[in-house]
Chains A and B, each alone.
Chain A
Amino acid sequence: DVKVTQSSRYLVKRTGEKVFLECVQDMDHENMFWYRQDPGLGLRLIYFSYDVKMKEKGDIPEGYSVSREKKERFSLILESASTNQTSMYLCASSLDRGSEKLFFGSGTQLSVL
């Protein structure tokens, strides 16, 4: 089975801190995605990547950046965390471009105080 692993289940940070959320997949998938999930708003796409060193903006990229130096790892970076970035962050991967099946991690609940 495909495994998508997010480094932390819960994370508490302070306003202004730089935050790294890490995601690793073990099935050599080309595509990786970062979503955030908030009550009443569903899942919203932040950034995605179709290949190493490539990234594309999703629907809500403001305040975030990403890094994909290796195929299996996709990092989400909050340069200066703010309270409105308190959310559940979900990482996902899929085999290749056009592949319909996403595999999700269990999520990281980030609280910014």
Chain B
Amino acid sequence: DAKTTQPNSMESNEEEPVHLPCNHSTISGTDYIHWYRQLPSQGPEYVIHGLTSNVNNRMASLAIAEDRKSSTLILHRATLRDAAVYYCILFDGNKLVFGAGTILRVKS
């Protein structure tokens, strides 16, 4: 399984944008880049995914590097409810393999 590398933790101020980085230098041409997040005491929830182009949805934006070896999840205005563990995952069409993720702390 292709691996991803994320910082262990990040901190943000409320109402400010947050950029969560992910490196995936061994990504194959058919791997999709997925992001999930896990709020305290809950199962993970889907955030966004993409293949080559940048993607936007109501939760976040995903910026994918041109060589696809890295990507960034962007939360445009962090709120306290965004405090969670964020997982960057490469999906090969079969199964999702979760790494350790990034713990995002949001300060008021």
Return chain A residues, CB-CB under 8 Å to B98. 35, 42-44
Least CB distance from A49 to B in Å reads 11
How many contacts A-B (CB < 8 Å)? Answer: 50
Give the total of B residues in contact with A, Cβ under 8 Å. Answer: 21
Return chain A residues, CB-CB under 8 Å to B80. none
Least CB distance from B32 to A in Å reads 6
Give the total of A residues in contact with B, Cβ under 8 Å. Answer: 24
Return chain A residues, CB-CB under 8 Å to B42. 104, 106-107
Return chain B residues, CB-CB under 8 Å to A66. none
Mark B31-44 against chain A: 1 for CB-CB distance below 8 A, else 0: 01010100001111
Return chain A residues, CB-CB under 8 Å to B96. 33, 45, 102
Least CB distance from A41 to B in Å reads 8
B binding-site residues for A, Cβ under 8 Å: 32, 34, 36, 41-46, 49, 87, 91, 93-101
A binding-site residues for B, Cβ under 8 Å: 4, 33, 35, 40-45, 48, 58-59, 90, 92, 97-98, 100-107
16 CB-based A-B contacts, threshold 8 Å: A4-B43, A33-B95, A35-B98, A41-B100, A42-B98, A43-B44, A43-B98, A45-B95, A48-B95, A97-B93, A100-B34, A100-B91, A102-B36, A102-B96, A103-B46, A107-B43
